[in-house]
Amino acid sequence: MPRFAANLTLLFTEVPVLQRADLAAQAGFDGVEVLFPYDHPAAEWEKALGSMPVALINTPPGNWGAGERGFAAVPGQEDRFRDGFLRAAEVANRLKAQHIHIMAGVAKGPEAEQCFRENLTWACARAPGQKLTVEPINPDDMPGYFLNDFDQAARILQDVGLPQIGLQFDLWHAARIHGNAATVWATHRDRVSHVQIAGFPQRHEPGGGGFDLTALCREIDSLDRDIWVAAEYRPLRATVHGLMWLAALKGRARMIGA
């Protein structure tokens, strides 16, 4: 049965972020992910998380309000990427985060791709025991983001050739980019190391859009890899009142494993 993580950046926003892990545990989640755990010291996060595992954090994005979205594929910003990655690696080590998602940034063209490849290779060498992911993000939500296509991401991972880096499959972005998330999953699932789910066509509670989440959980089991299924969506109401999907998936997963 896959493990389910709550994205503490988007869920349980009814309380301050350091109180959200407790609510996630009470709601039945097995762990958490945090997009940018840099506004609080790692010691505060350790206390707040307790025994809840951390599935994933992101590298620092830079000045979000100014449009920065990471630096891994931004030529001329290699030092900023590497400083940010070292900070992320330190936090991931403290919090025992399974994955660091490497944010590519706003860039385009062959020079940006070469920069991305070199920075991915550098990051793997700098933190050899840390699992990394890359995530294609749709251009409507993040205009100009370098990594905006799953086929593009798969080709880059193939060329880099380092098993330490996996593909982050976000159902929302896959559907927005390619139209059919199920086809994207079928094509690229062997590279996937982390999964994020949300409803479609609205990014609310998971479900809809013609994507069978029960089948997804079954296939994750069949891959025999430690893949988290993270809830990354915008709740329609208080998070705890919209978690029927979690109870249903966990119940069906137990039936599948019985």
Would strands 131-134 and 165-170 be described as parallel, antiparallel, or unpaired?
parallel
- 132: phi then psi, degrees, rounded to nearest 5: -125, 155
Length of the chain: 258
Selecting among 33, 113, 205, 232, the annotated active-site residue is 232
CB burial of 200-229 (b: ≥16 within 10 Å; e: otherwise) equals beebbbbbebebebeebbbbbeeeeeebbb
Active site residue 232: yes
Q: What is the largest CA-CA distance in the chain?
A: 53
List, in order, residues 6 or more apart from 190 with CB less than 8 Å away: 223
Selecting among 113, 135, 205, 219, the annotated active-site residue is 135
Q: How far is CA 234 from CA 106, 128, 137, 154, in A?
A: 24, 34, 16, 28
**CA of residue 27 relative to chain centroid, distance:** 20
Structure tokens at 131: 């699992």
Other beta carbons within 10 angstroms of residue 163's beta carbon come to 11
Active site residue 111: no
User: CA–CA separation, 139 vs 101, rounded Å?
Assistant: 18
Q: Which residues are catalytic?
A: 135, 232
